[in-house]
Amino acid sequence: MVIATTITDSREELHSTFASRYARTSLPKFVMPEQPISKDAAYQIINDELMLDGNPRLNLASFVTTWMEPECDKLIMSSLNKNYVDMDVYPVTTELQNRCVNMIAHLFHAPVRVDETAIGVGTVGSSEAIMLAGLAFKRKWQARRKSEGKPCDKPNIVTGANVQVCWEKFARYFEVELKEVKLRKGYYIMDPVKAVEMVDENTICIAAILGSTLTGEFEDVKLLNELLMEKNKETGWETPIHVDAASGGFIAPFVYPDLEWDFRLPLVKSINVSGHKYGLVYAGVGWVVWRSKDDLPEDLVFHINYLGSDQPTFTLNFSKGSSQIIAQYYQFIRLGFEGYKNIMEMCMANARVLKEGLEKMGRFEIISKDVGVPLVAFSLKNSSKHTVFEISESLRRFGWIVPAYTMPPDAEEVAVLRAVIREDFSHSLAERLASDIEKVLKQVESLPSRISARAARLTSSVSDPPEEKIVAMGNFEKSVKESHGEVTKEFRNVESKKVSGVC
């Protein structure tokens, strides 16, 4: 790779612009180049290539923060060179982490005194937090089984089929069977009754979600707690609950303070929350807090001696940046409870603006609920000719990134679009998005259908009753569910290889 050959040539530098000096050769892709290049060239080349990335502020696929105050940006920049793990060198950063853990634990009503240190840790995101919480449950369950002289080699965890992929990762990486409560059309969260039915003596915990990734809905943790208490009483088991509050953890305490989903419920032993979602910090921070010291098995905790005192650590990795922890503390003291409340209420109000705009068009069914995370998930009432995937694709032309996806089992026949409303998404942007969606809808509908005739025959409005309808297909008769599977496949073909992930 020889992109450097012309750079040291001062004559060439004098006689040519950036483009003519560096745009002639292809960039290193596989092998590190032999020679260095100047710093301004490296900057420009990379900066130019990055122009092709989407605009993060218009990325409505993600819950993750895309705007922070310039004062906080300054703090972030000035701490980029601090490795968080060097706690004896950066004791103040460590202290800020501990303060954040305390504040989150109190926000979630952990039974700790106001001046007592809470049990928890900062992580890279909710995924790492969930791995840690899951491991703690597995260890506790194993210890209990061993003490009872019972086998402990077949742990399982009960979740809804709507869980984020990190739970599947946890299950696979840490060898725990994932028992998923299936969804159904019109009901896209874990049914607490079915979840408790699935619990057996090998269940390490039930994981409930406060703010489903797919629809933003809160699962009914209070009912789950009641049902599980009864089952535990009957069976003598001690199955606990984890709440995955990745996005809802910084919504519910401010917008729905009376909703009981957290440590107010006795079986809730740990909770994760993403600092980089509604915690309002850029990507790279999550939190997990435990109800009490007893809920985090001591053998999972490593002790680092720093400045003569003991700093317990429980993380999957070692080195990591400090900036996000510092930024989280900034947001907590900068905004306070009132500041967070104001922002979260504004996000909810802007989600309503978008929802009402969509409702006016009369073509969409709103899948998300009014109580939940500020997002709007919606599907086409009639998708026999055009799909939500085409709408998602066409919105890209306006700069909007609005993902489309099909629901998990057993609701795969439902395909939705989802727009996440963050702090930096204003009322006027919500109106603008609604009007752009209307334009796109008109354009899409004026085009010939891209769905094959066969799929068009199979598809039906999402508001059609799914049960018992039989669709003729050649010599076979297929159930509606199977047929919708075919349509989903067609949708995916229509989408060709484009993937709009949701996170």
Ligand X SMILES: Cc1ncc(COP(=O)(O)O)c(C=O)c1O
Binding site for ligand X (CB under 6 A): 63, 125-127, 164, 166, 209, 211, 213, 244, 246-247, 274, 286, 503
CA dihedral 110, 113, 116, 121 (to 10 degrees): 10
Backbone φ and ψ of 29, nearest 5°: -125, -30
**Rg for the chain, CA atoms, rounded:** 25
- Closer Cβ to ligand X, 63 or 141, answer by number: 63
Distances in Å between the Cα of 502 and the Cα atoms of 63, 331, 416 are 9, 25, 11
The minimum distance between CB 226 and ligand X, in angstroms, equals 23
Helix (H) or strand (E) holding 139: helix 126-147
The minimum distance between CB 210 and ligand X, in angstroms, equals 8
- Closer Cβ to ligand X, 22 or 84, answer by number: 84
Under 8 Å between Cβ of 314 and 132: yes
- Closer Cβ to ligand X, 125 or 372, answer by number: 125
- Closer Cβ to ligand X, 63 or 90, answer by number: 63
* Those residues with Cβ within 8 angstroms of residue 232's Cβ, 6 or more apart along the chain or in another chain: 238, 239, 267
Separation CA 218–CA 344 (nearest Å)? 15
The minimum distance between CB 188 and ligand X, in angstroms, equals 13
The minimum distance between CB 163 and ligand X, in angstroms, equals 7
Separation CA 11–CA 42 (nearest Å)? 19
- Closer Cβ to ligand X, 281 or 391, answer by number: 281
SS3 (DSSP) at 80 = coil
The minimum distance between CB 425 and ligand X, in angstroms, equals 17
The minimum distance between CB 502 and ligand X, in angstroms, equals 7
Give me the residues paired with residue 420 across strands. 375
| Strand runs labelled E in 317-395 | 364-366, 375-380
Tell me which residue has its CB nearest to ligand X.
125
The minimum distance between CB 403 and ligand X, in angstroms, equals 12
Separation CA 231–CA 206 (nearest Å)? 13
- Closer Cβ to ligand X, 125 or 240, answer by number: 125
